[in-house]
A and B are shown apart, each in its own frame.
Chain A
């Protein structure tokens, strides 16, 4: 078994301690087999820098993001108020999320319902850890590799964070190549707005095929993502073009965990 150390908020409380930060894992990060690997990569990084962090564990529940995007405001607010009760009960102040959707919802939509926290996305945390010298990254293993970053809509356009993931990738000694549609003009992977959980409406092609094709045109070795849903969509797209042998879809956290040999 991999050696990761994870403690819950309840555990901290029982010992009369308070963690530096709460890691909000999210539903994908908790249940989806592919996304769990991203979760572990984030934990490995947190362990490596010996940051005291906690998860909510079984006390965590869906932020309500898919409900809100799908128009079910009622369900969203029920979820939000339940989560806020838990978070405020633990006097949580700072949260890092493994998913841009949780990030956006917690950061922007919880305050109106009484949940006020400093919320950051995991790529922002990693960027900060590198910049403050807490995390040292040797990018040797990525030397000569070509990486393109797919902007998650809810990190990029929705919250104007385009640089943190790119600055992290820049530490890898790899070549960062940009797709034609990137940053503010980034093209969605097709999963947002609760599309992840339903069949696409009738059309000519799937959104993720369009986007993956654009990424593959750059002949990258790695398509970097910052969202578990983008990851799924891009992975499926790469498979559609039978390129899964040559092109890996990896989260920024996984790249860093690999580079730091964690």
Chain B
């Protein structure tokens, strides 16, 4: 192939994708940066270790073996087949055909592994579609997934199957053409498709696609069109996929890596200490205590997404709505309203809403809504047992519990609206030093009574 109209179109498509993707991802990063500051740059070694184990190594995925193994197929396929995208982009810009062919035997190994992985990705996606739509797994068919989230999942899986099919068909057409070169020299010459013959693609470079070549039409021109169509379909599909990602639960394919890197490395039982409260309490104990006066006194707890930390917001964008949290949540599993997955989805939806407002009205954007009440109800929050099952279950170390607690803090400390039973508990702790109404002077009675 030589540089021509196809390459000009390709460069335009590549540039447009880059431009729109940059715009959209910038706005997501801007949204995340609206969260409160939090230092997660410590313990670099331990963070890398967690990244390798949990994100790259998928260690938490395989706790559920079927989904875990299928996911590894799709994940490895995604990462490895992206090497092929580099070649496609090179070909697209320079007008070459299989530019990386010079790698020789290594190229064969690469193409073979791409082909095997493409089949495994298709297998994985078919199983995933079946789990959602045929087997109807409970956690993949809960009410918070109705509408867009469910369509989103099916769209992504379908796109992946189509992309992989196009990739294999492209290889099949290419392989078929290279095998026919000697028999149809005049056609090759007339249609200026010598590059297929010259590409030197060895037969053994294609492990899977030759099986598909039996379906190729006899007319080599059509085969060439098939090859071109699949090439374009594949790369335009990939571009579309990149632009679709920011609006999709599928964003986890990028965000899970930083999200796992910035995991909470403390014991799960350790809840954050609210410094703003510490200052108040210290001032009560010691009237001479002068609280540091940097910044305005913030809210106690979180009412809206901007009261959360950037990590909690990154968590929300990273969530792929798999629902492992919800399916291990004792409140949810006993029919309560709480679903940790919904907490994450609500956080993202609300942040996106604010982001769109800012796109329109600038940084002064304000509306009457908030994450608490308009998205997440007190009933959901008060169903939580703080057992950390959701945090443990998340394959990408998302922490829904921290958001639940921050919202509870606002309900209790700013709205003074705990459930009445808990209001009594607070009064008891304050007055008696115990959650029950026992007198503190009786605290040691157990030692002397029968």
Contact = CB atoms under 8 A, between A and B. Distances in A.
B134 interface: no
B270 A108 contact: yes
Interface stretch (B42-50, B117-125, B405-413): B405-413
Interface in A218-237: none
Interface string A167-211: 000000000000000001111101111111111111111110111
12 contacts: A27-B434, A57-B444, A62-B433, A66-B435, A70-B408, A73-B274, A73-B300, A74-B413, A158-B268, A190-B385, A199-B419, A201-B337
Contacts of A203: 331, 334-337, 383
B209 interface: no
Interface string B266-297: 11111101100110111011000000000000
Closest 10 CB pairs of A and B: A158-B269, A204-B335, A71-B408, A193-B386, A61-B433, A203-B335, A108-B270, A188-B387, A198-B421, A112-B273
B340 interface: no
Contact of B385 (A6, A61, A192): A192
A62 B266 CA distance: 24
A72 B385 contact: no
Given A70-B408, A73-B274, A75-B429, A159 B269 contact: yes
B264 interface: no
Nearest to A33: B446
Nearest to A30: B443
A192 B390 CA distance: 14
B264 to A, nearest CB: 12
B436 interface: yes
A113 B271 CA distance: 13
Contacts of B199: none
A72 B281 contact: no
Contacts of B336: 200-203
B430 interface: yes
Contacts of B273: 77, 109, 112-113
Category for how many chain B residues contact A:
35 or more
Given A30-B443, A66-B435, A187-B389, A71 B301 contact: yes
Contacts of B300: 73-74
Contact of A72 (B386, B388, B426, B441): B426
A29 interface: yes
Interface in B17-46: none
A151 to B, nearest CB: 10
A157 B268 contact: yes
Contacts of B65: none
A187 B418 contact: no
A112 B269 CA distance: 14
Contacts of A79: 429, 433
A190 B23 CA distance: 46
A217 B281 CA distance: 49
Contacts of A25: 443, 446
A57 B335 contact: no
A167 to B, nearest CB: 20
B388 A153 contact: yes
A74 B418 contact: no
A64 interface: yes
Nearest to B438: A31
A68 interface: yes
A184 B425 CA distance: 30
A188 B443 contact: no
A74 B444 CA distance: 27
B347 interface: no
B447 interface: yes
A13 interface: no
Interface in B144-196: none
Interface in B341-385: 379, 382-385
Nearest to A71: B408
A75 B389 contact: no
A1 B300 CA distance: 50
A1 B284 CA distance: 44
Given A187-B333, A188-B389, 19 more contacts: A27-B436, A30-B443, A31-B443, A71-B407, A71-B411, A71-B412, A74-B413, A75-B426, A78-B284, A79-B429, A81-B285, A104-B269, A108-B266, A158-B267, A190-B330, A197-B424, A198-B421, A205-B335, A210-B330
B270 A72 contact: no
A248 to B, nearest CB: 20
A39 interface: yes
A188 B269 contact: no
B440 interface: yes
B413 A72 contact: yes
Contacts of B63: 185
Contacts of B424: 197
B182 to A, nearest CB: 62
A129 interface: no
A113 B426 contact: no
Nearest to A205: B334
A198 B419 contact: yes
Interface in A87-129: 104, 107-109, 112-113
Nearest to A104: B269
Contacts of A75: 426, 429-430
Nearest to B60: A184
A6 B447 contact: yes
Contact of B277 (A74, A109, A200, A202): A74
A77 to B, nearest CB: 5
B422 interface: yes
Nearest to B337: A201
B213 interface: no
B168 to A, nearest CB: 39
Contacts of B411: 71
A57 to B, nearest CB: 4
A102 to B, nearest CB: 11
A150 to B, nearest CB: 12
B330 A207 contact: yes
Contacts of B425: 66-67, 70, 194, 197-198
Contact of A188 (B274, B385, B445): B385
